[in-house]
Structure 1
């Protein structure tokens, strides 16, 4: 019985270490992307999907750049435990700022396309 418990515990520890290693690898890939490049890609996708005018595009680029810089800071300075919560706060703030720039039709498009845009960014930067 003791041996089974010990083996089970070792398996759980090994799985946990593996999960952390995979998560760290993803974080390292994200850290390697300059915030400016990330913001430009996100803004380009939003421009296409939301039909942004030039003024909106400039405002949203500034919002996306600040968000990318904030996310970079979180990745570099936060523990894994705090990271998720802090990233959620940045995303909610960013969503609110972006929707304040959009018209009602664009807000609806933003809500509909938000996850698709995130997925396209992940694929583009290979951060799955």
Structure 2
């Protein structure tokens, strides 16, 4: 089982990834709660807050993480291993680069569905912008 802070970081990346694929439409807690309930998993706002904060309580609930992985369209292993599946790697790089460049909302609206090669190219441009900012 990953450290709670690591699990929280991965869940946040997966949430941001889903938001990007939705064209910037934010993921709301009631939507998550409803989906998990349809899979027989209960979650309260408090429990969700613990998970997102990386608090040790409630982060070892495998059925919850399995259903959450299904909702976020990531394999359950994404939450447990250091490996990022190939199909997610470009998206994760994009999310990381967008966070660093502080352009997540703007870019998410403009991106829509892109090929992994295009996502990788955009990620590289955003990393370059961030390097230039940090050198200034």
- Output the TM-score relative to the length of structure 1: 0.29
More helix by share: 1
- Output the TM-score relative to the length of structure 2: 0.28
Larger Rg: 1
